[in-house]
Structure 1
Amino acid sequence: MTQPLRWLQDEIADRMLQKLDIVKLDVKDILVVPDFAGKHLDTLAQRYPRARIFSITEKGVSGFQMWRTKALSNWRSLFASNTSPLASYLSSGRFDIPDNSVDLVFSDLLLHDLPDPKHFLQECWRVLREGGLITFSYLGPDTGKELRSLDLSGLKLRNLLSPWDMHDMGDALLGERFSDPVMDMEYLTLDYEKPALLLADIIALKLIHSTPPQVTEKEVLLQKITLEVVYGHAWALGKRLAKAKDNVAYIDPNQIGRKTRPDSA
């Protein structure tokens, strides 16, 4: 996601928070990935006023910008927060936070940009505490479907890195041991008055590889594009169980506590 579509990132974050209204969760620590200087941080701060926030900041967001936004949002734990860049996760495949350290993972419009969403889910499982929740949104495979009908030799279309529909994601969550996944999807239509605006957005959405010099604004005749927005959440339960095999979960004998009966009088 890039600056031209910051408003979209904020809008979807707000919709994610609305979906959390019915979820009861004791939150002490939150992982926001990607973290960006949006108005949703104020809502998070109000809902979880005592929570500490771990930030995986997206590219192009300065430390000062995040500090200022969180200060305005009245994060009580502002100076105790742990921040690392998204680029660090993309290169290492690991969040720079300990195991079992957060109660909520909040991920807004990221998964479609990852080459391996399953690995992301594995990392979320690692850092979530028992009973924690992952909530996320991403763009589904119907995003920008109107572009496929264009006959422009200079426009090189690009598929999303992870074109998963909500059923694919639901299966992946179960495969990574998450419980009770809830998936939802909606279509949003973006209408445009000027071709230049549409071209800027499809570049920001990474639906084309680049802006070829032979493609001009006049050649882009679309007036709208469709976004398929997929939402989901799932619980981290039974973290002491080994990963299931053939629908059977195995427990390490060392994890089984043994109770002894007191000697009779």
Structure 2
Amino acid sequence: MDAGKRVNCADYLIAPHRFVSQAPSPAERASAPIDLRRVRRLFSDPARVAESGFLRREVAGRMFERLELIRTAPALVLDAGCGEGADLPLLRQRFGEARLLGLDASAAMLGAARASQDAALSSVNRLLRRFLPRAANAPGVNADLVCGDFANLPLAAVSADLIWSNLALHWHPQPHQVFQEWRRVLRVDGLLMFSCFGPDTFRELREAWAGIDGAPHTLPFVDMHDFGDMLVDAGFATPVMDMETITVTYADADRLLADVRAWGGNPLATRSRGLLGRAAHARLRAALDAGRRPDGKLPLTFEIVYGHAFRPVPKTTAAGESIIRFDRPKK
């Protein structure tokens, strides 16, 4: 798969009719035995998670570059999986009049987001009181923060105009259900824009573990084509998927492993429950060291999957009646 390859899912979803035997559906291929309680525990230490924030900020910047190409003026923006809230100021800057809602499954991460928002608000107001007294108590980021599950949003149907999700979807065991829920809350012509890890992520770590034991140590990240299929199945219109590879380098294996833990570690329910012994840890470090590049650095690959899609105009009414639209002739 070439880095930067862009795929319009409408192109590859059209295929000749043929009999298909017992092949797993995209949803079945994408579902993983992820322990959501462990995910929340792994993200319960915002200070540790913050060490991996540089990649989220880089990916957020690339998502905003894609967003610039799309004309949208949302009234309600949902940041699904907002974490410590680092994307909320950027969304506020981009959509100054919109209502912002940040949602995350980790109460600890939301606490960090709230503290960051309060600190930013205090700084803004201090400056305003000094130079523009009448503008004191300005709203700042002013985002509502809610603890909740992607697949069970505390939002009414057709209430959001933009759902934004940066490097969060891969932590949910059933992304197809998440897409169905996101479509439920989006208004007609509402935009979904997300990023997540793809199958090549942590490739070097998986290869190192393969020579040590057969236990799963990383998530089986979903291929972008399967995400495209799931979006279509969930009722989104002509989703567009693309991917790119980002390689982060390290001076030593311990720093690499610390960052992997900061990115969420191993939340699989099928993971080994025992502690890693000294001998196994030494073998892991040696296996990683064997992959050093000519410049002496240890590489760690991240496949970043990007997707966006719209909720289309319905073709039938709630009663199942067809909707036929006529365009007025141009004068």
Same fold (TM over 0.5): yes
The one of 235, 260, 263 aligned to 1:205:
263
Per the TM alignment, residue 226 of structure 1 is displaced from its structure 2 partner at its CA by 0.6
Per the TM alignment, residue 107 of structure 1 is displaced from its structure 2 partner at its CA by 0.4
Per the TM alignment, residue 100 of structure 1 is displaced from its structure 2 partner at its CA by 1.0
* Structure 1 unpaired stretches of 5+: 243-249, 258-265
Q: Partner residue of 2:52? A: 5
Q: Distance in 1 between matches of 2:145 and 2:244?
A: 32
2:97 aligned partner, one-letter code: R
- Preserved contact between residue 14 and residue 40 of structure 1 (Cα < 8 Å): no
- After superposition, the CA RMSD in angstroms is 2.9
Tell which has more relative contact order, 1 or 2 (C-alpha 8 A, sep 6+): 2
Q: Partner residue of 1:34? A: 81
Q: Distance in 1 between matches of 2:260 and 2:215?
A: 12
Q: Deviations over 1:30-78 (max 9, x none)?
A: 0001113354333211210000011103523216325326637975672
- Preserved contact between residue 89 and residue 141 of structure 2 (Cα < 8 Å): no
1:234 aligned partner, one-letter code: A
Q: 1:173 to 1:70 in 2, by over 3 A?
A: farther
- Preserved contact between residue 183 and residue 233 of structure 1 (Cα < 8 Å): yes
Q: Distance in 2 between matches of 1:156 and 1:82?
A: 40
Per the TM alignment, residue 173 of structure 1 is displaced from its structure 2 partner at its CA by 0.8
The one of 299, 303, 308 aligned to 1:233:
308
Q: Deviations over 1:106-148 (max 9, x none)?
A: 0011121111001110111011111100000000111111223
Q: Distance in 1 between matches of 2:50 and 2:193?
A: 23
Q: What is the 5 A alignment of 1:72-111?
A: 78=142, 81-85=143-147, 88-89=148-149, 93-111=151-169
Q: Distance in 1 between matches of 2:153 and 2:51?
A: 27
Give the match's secondary structure for 2:68: helix
Q: Distance in 2 between matches of 1:18 and 1:120?
A: 25
1:54 aligned partner, one-letter code: L
Q: Distance in 1 between matches of 2:232 and 2:253?
A: 42
Q: 1:174 to 1:193 in 2, by over 3 A?
A: same
The one of 320, 324, 327 aligned to 1:252:
320
Q: 1:193 to 1:51 in 2, by over 3 A?
A: same
Q: Distance in 2 between matches of 1:177 and 1:95?
A: 18
The one of 208, 212, 215 aligned to 1:153:
212
Per the TM alignment, residue 97 of structure 1 is displaced from its structure 2 partner at its CA by 1.4
Q: Distance in 2 between matches of 1:142 and 1:135?
A: 21
* Structure 2 unpaired stretches of 5+: 1-42, 44-48, 125-137, 292-297, 325-331
Q: Partner residue of 2:5? A: none
**TM-score normalised by L of structure 2:** 0.65
Q: Partner residue of 1:68? A: 118
Q: 1:45 to 1:69 in 2, by over 3 A?
A: farther
**Percent identical residues:** 29
Q: 1:106 to 1:68 in 2, by over 3 A?
A: same
Q: Partner residue of 2:97? A: 50
